[in-house]
């Protein structure tokens, strides 16, 4: 089957690309394996030179790749430019810091010399989603490649142009053939690629269901895997919250990337003494979010990525309203061309409704009222997911309570949860295993080899 890119704002087909044949896949894996055996011996300073060159190329082409991202998955042009700039920054970060992160560690033992070396393991198969079509790739590929491994990519089928752009970027920067390889392969080909002896590990960002499947395959073949899965992140509004800033950031946290981010805040948990004030101001602010053409500078909220995602979100909201949830603003898809769903706030959401127990991947916020911070943290933790979460408070004791007790991989105080190269990125519980970014990410796909000299 061809890989087809459809503009979600216009519903028009942009381009089609043929799938790779089994023979082409085999040849690509062979090239990746050969590239790895040469690349692992390249001095890390020389790897850094090439990574910086790729960053420089990307920075010179930000408007070009940003427009491609916008046309393929609907994020606003401004957000797409920011994503591209962040990718270039992260490539430069690993070019500068990977050597120190991978440096051998000396450990005092009875021997004359001993410690740990961090060495590459081989080609890593990356299965990536559409919502951040450049960032998701760079945040895993940059540390993988700087560690001496190579990357084989299976990108989401609706952003094929972005996949080709990244492959071409690395090639133009001077990386050898096979250091970064894009494959247009179907879902039913994934198992065979993971099983292939030339693949050393697998990393996936996607749904919980996809994570279980890929994790089982990796386990069956005894291969290291990193799984970054879904989330339903809490946004806790405590008694001491600075309400003006909290409301403004609450909107950003929900509508960023058109509401389609695993770390976007989805559950707004508010203590009762601030609930009325927060809800009224939040509903008003969400009702004023500009929605429309994602290329327009004034647009904050563009279309959802596809008709299937559009229909899913509409069904989740409508069925929840039928069970008693109240749509304080939004609550129904816009009519006309394009997959546009307005910023929506739901209150009085039954726990057993779809909005009460499913991840909402779109600009829909669920507001719940609790008696105090203890109940807020309890409700925040009462979910199978544990990706990120935030606390909005000015009181140090309230902040510390959330930092220490929230069952998540990442917790932010008075800031929207974001990914950054300095900090590990990943979740706990059903939100996945392993970490990307920081020193944790660069070491995930290395062999921590102990050494001892008598």
C-alpha 274/C-alpha 284 separation (Å) is: 16
> What residue ranges do the domains of the chain occupy?
3-229+431-453, 233-420
Q: What is the CATH number of domain 233-420?
A: 3.40.309.10
Q: Which of 225, 262, 359, 398 is catalytic?
A: 262
Task: Give the rounded distance of the alpha carbon of 365 from its chain centre.
Answer: 19
- Distance (Å) of CA 72 to CA 140, 294, 302: 21, 11, 12
**C-beta of residue 131 within 8 angstroms of C-beta of residue 70:** no
Per-residue pLDDT of the chain (454 residues; tens, 9 = 90+): 789 999 999 999 999 999 999 999 999 999 999 999 999 999 999 999 999 999 999 999 999 999 999 999 999 999 999 999 999 999 999 999 999 999 999 999 999 999 999 999 999 999 999 999 999 999 999 999 999 999 999 999 999 999 999 999 999 999 999 999 999 999 999 999 999 999 999 999 999 999 999 999 999 999 999 999 989 999 999 999 999 999 999 999 999 999 999 999 999 999 999 999 999 999 999 999 999 999 999 999 999 999 999 999 999 999 999 999 999 999 999 999 999 999 999 999 999 999 999 999 999 999 999 999 999 999 999 999 999 999 999 999 999 999 999 999 999 999 999 999 999 999 999 999 999 999 999 999 999 999 999 9
Give 445's contacts (C-beta < 8 A, 6+ positions apart).
120, 121, 124, 144, 147, 149, 200, 201, 203, 224, 226
- Distance (Å) of CA 49 to CA 83, 146, 240: 22, 10, 48
Q: Which of 72, 83, 167, 228 is catalytic?
A: 228
- Nearest to 134, CA basis, from 197, 83, 76, 68: 83
Whether this model's pTM surpasses 0.85: yes
**C-beta of residue 267 within 8 angstroms of C-beta of residue 235:** yes
C-alpha 339/C-alpha 362 separation (Å) is: 11
**C-beta of residue 193 within 8 angstroms of C-beta of residue 186:** no
DSSP 52-112: HHHHHHHHHTHHHHHHHHHHHH---HHHHHHHHHHHHHHHHHHHHHHHHHTS-EE---SSS
Q: Is 170 left (phi over 0), alpha (psi -120 to 50) or beta?
A: alpha
What is the DSSP pairing of strand 201-205 with strand 224-228?
parallel
Give 12's contacts (C-beta < 8 A, 6+ positions apart).
6
Instruction: Let me know if 228 is a catalytic residue.
Output: yes
- Distance (Å) of CA 84 to CA 90, 166, 171, 225: 10, 11, 18, 26
C-alpha 287/C-alpha 303 separation (Å) is: 16
- Distance (Å) of CA 446 to CA 96, 102, 204: 19, 9, 17
CA atoms within 13 A on the CB side of 279: 22
Q: What tokens appear for 199 in the block? A: 């693949």
| Superfamily, domain 3-229+431-453 | Aldehyde Dehydrogenase; Chain A, domain 1 (3.40.605.10)
Count Cβ atoms below 10 Å from residue 18 Cβ, excluding itself: 10
**C-beta of residue 316 within 8 angstroms of C-beta of residue 266:** no
Q: For 316, list phi and psi in degrees, rounded to 5.
A: -60, -45
Burial of residue 394 (CB within 10 Å: 0-12, 13-18, 19+) is: middle
Query: Kind and range of the H or E element at 120?
Result: strand 113-120
């Amino acid at each position: 089957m061809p890989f087809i890119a459809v503009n979600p704002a216009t519903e028009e087909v942009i381009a089609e690309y043929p799938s790779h044949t089994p023979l082409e896949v085999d040849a690509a894996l062979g090239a990746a394996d050969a590239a790895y055996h040469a690349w692992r011996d390249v001095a890390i300073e020389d790897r850094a030179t090439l990574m910086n060159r790729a960053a420089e190329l990307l920075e010179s082409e930000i408007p070009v790749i940003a427009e491609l991202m916008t046309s393929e998955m609907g994020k606003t042009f401004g957000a797409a430019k920011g994503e591209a700039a962040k990718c270039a920054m992260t490539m430069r970060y690993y070019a500068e810091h990977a050597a120190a992160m991978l440096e051998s560690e000396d450990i005092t033992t009875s021997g004359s010399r001993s410690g740990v070396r961090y060495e590459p393991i081989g080609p890593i198969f990356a299965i990536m989603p559409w919502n951040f079509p450049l960032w998701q790739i760079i945040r895993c590929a940059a540390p993988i490649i700087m560690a001496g491994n190579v990357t084989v990519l299976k990108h989401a089928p609706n952003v094929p142009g972005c996949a080709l752009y990244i492959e071409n970027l690395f090639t133009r920067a001077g990386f050898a053939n096979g250091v970064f390889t894009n494959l247009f392969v179907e879902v039913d080909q994934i198992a065979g690629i993971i099983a292939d002896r030339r693949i050393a590990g697998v990393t996936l960002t996607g749904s919980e269901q996809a994570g279980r499947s890929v994790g089982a395959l990796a386990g069956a073949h005894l291969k290291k895997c990193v799984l970054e899965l879904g989330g339903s992140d809490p946004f806790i509004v405590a008694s001491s919250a600075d309400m003006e800033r909290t409301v403004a950031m609450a909107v950003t946290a929900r509508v960023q990337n058109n509401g389609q981010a695993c770390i976007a805040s989805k559950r707004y948990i508010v203590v009762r003494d601030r609930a009325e004030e927060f809800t009224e101001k939040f509903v008003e602010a969400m009702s004023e979010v500009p929605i429309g053409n994602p290329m327009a500078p004034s647009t904050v909220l563009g279309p959802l990525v596809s008709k299937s995602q559009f229909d899913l979100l509409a069904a989740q909201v409508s069925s929840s309203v039928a069970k008693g949830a109240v749509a304080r603003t939004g609550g129904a898809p816009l009519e006309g061309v394009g997959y546009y769903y307005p910023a929506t706030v739901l209150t009085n959401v039954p726990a057993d409704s779809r909005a009460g127990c499913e991840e909402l991947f779109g600009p829909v916020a669920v507001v719940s009222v609790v008696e105090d911070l203890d109940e807020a943290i309890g409700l925040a933790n009462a979910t199978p997911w544990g990706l990120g979460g935030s606390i909005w408070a000015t009181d140090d004791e309230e902040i510390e309570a959330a930092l220490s007790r929230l069952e998540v991989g990442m917790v932010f105080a008075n800031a929207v949860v974001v990914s950054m190269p300095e900090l590990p990125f990943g979740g706990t519980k059903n939100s996945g295993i392993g970490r990307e970014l920081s020193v944790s990410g660069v070491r995930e796909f290395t062999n921590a080899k102990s050494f001892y000299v008598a």
